Amino acid sequence: MTRAKLAFVLMLIVSVMLVACNNNQDVSNASDERENDNANDGNKEEVAGVVELDMWIHQSGEDETNYNKQRIEDFNEAHEGEIQINVEVVMDDGGSSYNDSLNAALVAGNLPDVLALDGPFVASYADAEIIAPVTDYISDEDKADFVDSIIEQGTYNGELYSLGAMESSVVLYYNKEIFEAEGIEAPTTIEDAWTWDEFMTVAKQLTTEDRFGLNLFMDYGVGEWYTYMGAPFVWSNGGALISEDGTTVDGYLNGPESVEALEYVKSLFEEGVVSLTPSETQFESGKAAMALGGPWIAVSAENAGLDYGMMPYPYSEVPKSPSGSMAYAISSQAEHPEAAYKVMQWMTNEESTIGLSEVTGMPPARKSAFESMEPYNELPKKIMRDQVVNTAHARPTTPAYPVLTDAFAQAFHAVALGEDPQEVLDQQVQRVERELRRFNK
């Protein structure tokens, strides 16, 4: 194993150890599930002439997991006598358990042929040579059908490594009853999205003694959510978290555009329109008039019987919105990469993306799927579609991303607590630059 690979593995193992004490029961349950799956796999017989592939998918919601397993069964049926996929559902508790399993497989030299991974971390896996490029397998026509953010997310050093079946976005949800009572008209197109000043004015108007104007879901904790939700403040202000060539964050993460963006975030808390400690159902219960959240908020709002709408993400200079999803990639240890790519292609084809979207509520990753799904052609979901297609911005594709995202999340949280954006960003730049030096040799 190269020094870079070993360093990557050790880094992930350390991150696993830090959270493992809080997830012993989950990991134990995952091990039991995997033992059962392996026992079932052991009953399968080798068939001459059939390419057998091992595939890992992450444990997610029951409906999503069952859907993915069904699609794999459908693949095996459609490719009977040609390719057989042996699938294993691996525990994913937010990244640590799944990475732990990948680390063990990498060290042992028995990575699965096809694996699911979190899109923003593609560059880390690619740089460590855990996954292999699929540039030579995808056709130009097929590639063009994916929304730009999915291709951007899966590309590193000019090579395409991953494809996602679904996308995501963060929209501005609003309580229709409160808006009507306050006489506020919500924008319905990206062209009419609120600027930061307009957004602040409305948020202050909607804030009362017993209600916040906005929920940013700060209760999710200091982690990927803060980067996923918060980075578009920087991007829409003309800033970036890292240089275009990926060699430095100095002057970018702590550049004037980034500082100004976090100054604005800080002002939301200083004006009292956002709570640092919102209740889990603050928006659904009417204790917040607006919420900057993902597709899953629509599900919880509907379950609560809330009459809600969606608006585009507010912006400074140019509209930008979050993106990112789980994706599929081929292991660098795969002996039959062409067959493995057929699996990737199947799990991300139009039929798969439509079905997965219907099961999860997440927007599809293909333009053709949007055309086939009526809910995304009308409000409120049209807002989500328009963002995914037109304003979605992938998080930085750099092997230093695990450190970069933590740095941004820490800074976002610090300014919410009232600290000076320039000072906290300068501090975080130092640690990210140290990490980047590992990859800039």
Residue 233 in this model has a pLDDT that exceeds 90: yes
Is residue 233 within 8 Å of 316, Cβ to Cβ? yes
Residue 410 in this model has a pLDDT that exceeds 90: yes
Q: Is the Cα dihedral 352, 354, 360, 364 positive or negative? A: positive
Is residue 274 within 8 Å of 290, Cβ to Cβ? no
Instruction: Select from 118, 149, 141 the least CA-distant residue to 131.
Output: 118
pLDDT in tens, 165-203: 999 999 999 999 999 999 999 999 999 999 999 999 999
Burial status of residue 107 (CB atoms within 10 A of its CB: 0-12, 13-18, 19 or more):
middle
pLDDT at 183: 98
Residue 75 in this model has a pLDDT that exceeds 70: yes
Cα separation, 89 vs 34, whole angstroms: 7
pLDDT at 101: 81
Model confidence band, residue 58 (pLDDT cutoffs 50, 70, 90): confident
- One-letter identity of residue 271: E
Is residue 323 within 8 Å of 392, Cβ to Cβ? yes
pLDDT at 10: 42
Alpha helices in 88-173 (DSSP H): 96-108, 122-127, 140-145, 148-154
**H or E stretch at 83:** strand 83-90
pLDDT at 60: 82
pLDDT at 59: 81
- One-letter identity of residue 425: L
pLDDT at 76: 98
Residue 2 in this model has a pLDDT that exceeds 80: no
- Quote the mean pLDDT of the chain: 90
Average pLDDT rounded to a whole number, residues 363-384:
97
pLDDT in tens, 278-308: 999 999 999 999 999 999 999 999 999 999 9
pLDDT in tens, 129-140: 999 999 999 999
pLDDT at 47: 54
Residue 37 in this model has a pLDDT that exceeds 50: no
Residue 50 in this model has a pLDDT that exceeds 80: yes
Residue 215 in this model has a pLDDT that exceeds 70: yes
Per cent of the chain over pLDDT 90 is 82
Residue 5 in this model has a pLDDT that exceeds 90: no
Q: Torsion angle, CA of 77/80/86/89, rounded to 10 degrees?
A: -10
pLDDT in tens, 234-280: 999 999 999 999 999 999 999 999 999 999 999 999 999 999 999 99
Residue 18 in this model has a pLDDT that exceeds 70: no
Residue 30 in this model has a pLDDT that exceeds 60: no
Is residue 330 within 8 Å of 134, Cβ to Cβ? yes
Model confidence band, residue 208 (pLDDT cutoffs 50, 70, 90): very high
pLDDT in tens, 151-175: 999 999 999 999 999 999 999 999 9
Residue 416 in this model has a pLDDT that exceeds 60: yes
Place of tokens 């990753």: 365
